[in-house]
Chain A
């Protein structure tokens, strides 16, 4: 099989850990943008967390936003650059903890941006603390005996929070295994297509391994994602979908 790297992913040294899903997500976004002929116009915003490492390996005009404000930064940008596709890229901590108000209100307003949210059930950048997405019983550096869901809540699910909102597109994919990755790419593509039709918030959450902070080797991290994470975070399209 012959693999061609997207032009928009540079060969600069990458800061991502081996087995991290962020690199896969970045590549899929670049592939979709190129295949759709949108790479020359795409502008991205990234959060300060691990996703910000795309600043080094993406060849797109990119804004590094404050933690949790990546989505509203993209919204402000899109409003003044209506002809550019604008994509916000951030993690579960950014979107579902510090940026929860922004997440909810972007959904309520159905703001016209693409949101790609990398959910690794943890705060990756700061060294593996508990997040609102952390699974019950999951050990993190700030829940060393396992997350007590009775105290800290069940893993946050965006499809529940957005259930009453008319947003353009909402789907969840996973960044492990060829079949899942291909499906995730279709979701990203659909988000781009609907974005180009100005259909409002086009939101794809991607389950992503963080081997480093899960304390698992990459292959074990893949199993954890598929066996445990998907129990709490079902894959599929929730709004605006019509694909398999």
Chain B
């Protein structure tokens, strides 16, 4: 049995990365991500890895690009404005077929926004926030435990697809303290890949890390199609609560899903048939989860953003056949009682009662 300890979400994430074999970190301070950087500033030395506080997020993500080229498990983390600066590197990582993990501890707002929890980066994270034709796997933890578990998983997925993996954490998950069972330490051999740069004899074929369509030509399109198809087939992850007979199904991830879990319980106690689908992968979006909702009359996302960003994906998952509502605010996590009241209204309306 591995250790069970009390930890802050950000610190659990950092520790899990080390345990996954990550030995390279570069980052830049920004709230609410900073504890990851601070933790690794001393802890990375203890495990014999490399830690750099870079001059900017741009520098940090490109250092990660370099470390990943060399075959290392590499991590960078940020929030909001800093995560925007990571986009250059994420796009280059995708183009160059390189694994890496990039964490966004989401905060609110565009521009500077503010340091409180938010979920306004959903589109940026799931649609490929940088230039070009790419997406990345996005993992959305909703507890300190999942901050650890999903970070551990993120490195494996990045390696499986030779593709960056993003973590959509948020200020609440990052700052809260909960009990967590930390995963075991595992070793990563940086020489195990044939593609990584390491030097070689003049008689050997030399390795080039570059935009892989230079070398692939027309085969590139099929290569990419297959890569994304495989992600969509194999990596959908979600958790369902009371979905089979539910007339209203909440769809929520991260900290919002915690409130929805409570709302489901409260609504059921009042006799309302309410369930919850919690996407754990935001991309690939867990469309399979929606097949279980056979009795559903309406979906309602709960997200901390104004533009109802995830509703797009819910509509696509259900072929636009079922109404999709949005609840939530930029500024705060929803109140459980209000959510139950909204659920009741929507169910009534869906059954032909008054419109909401």
Contacts and interface: CB of A to CB of B under 8 A. Distances in A.
A220 interface: no
B66 A75 contact: yes
A223 interface: no
What is the interface residue range for chain B against chain A? 35 or more
Contacts of B88: 66, 69
Contact of B50 (A43, A55, A80): A80
Contact of A72 (B59, B70, B201): B59
B208 interface: yes
A72 B70 CA distance: 13
B278 interface: no
A61 B202 contact: no
B69 A73 contact: yes
Contact of B200 (A40, A52, A75): A40
B89 interface: yes
A76 B209 contact: no
Contact of A61 (B55, B63, B207): B207
A150 B136 CA distance: 46
A84 B74 CA distance: 18
Interface string B74-111: 10000000000000110010001000000000000000
- Nearest first, the 10 closest Cβ-Cβ pairs linking A and B are A76-B66, A76-B63, A69-B62, A61-B197, A77-B66, A73-B66, A80-B72, A64-B210, A79-B50, A105-B55
A110 interface: no
What is the interface residue range for chain A against chain B? 35 or more
Interface string B129-156: 0000000000000000000000000000
B206 interface: yes
Contact of A45 (B54, B58, B59, B66): B66
Interface of A: 7-8, 39-43, 45, 52, 55, 58-66, 69, 72-81, 84, 101-102, 104-105
B40 to A, nearest CB: 13
A62 B195 CA distance: 11
Contacts of B56: 101
Residue of A61, A75, A102, A105 with highest tally of chain B CB at under 10 A = A61
B246 interface: no
Contacts of A74: 66
B24 interface: yes
B65 A76 contact: yes
19 contacts: A58-B206, A59-B202, A61-B198, A62-B197, A64-B96, A64-B211, A66-B88, A66-B92, A69-B62, A73-B66, A76-B63, A76-B70, A76-B74, A77-B69, A79-B63, A79-B67, A80-B23, A102-B59, A105-B59
Contacts of B55: 101-102, 104-105
Nearest to B199: A41
B65 A69 contact: yes
A147 B194 CA distance: 48
Interface of B: 23-24, 26, 50, 52, 54-56, 58-59, 62-72, 74, 88-89, 92, 96, 190, 197-202, 206-211
B209 A64 contact: yes
Contacts of B190: 80-81
Contacts of B210: 52, 55, 62-64
Residue of B55, B62, B200 with highest tally of chain A CB at under 10 A = B62
A39 B62 contact: no
A15 to B, nearest CB: 12
A7 B65 CA distance: 29
Nearest to A46: B210
B62 A84 contact: no
Given A64-B210, A80-B71, A72 B66 contact: yes
B197 A72 contact: no
A58 B202 CA distance: 10
Contacts of A79: 24, 50, 52, 63, 67
A77 B67 contact: yes
A102 B62 CA distance: 10
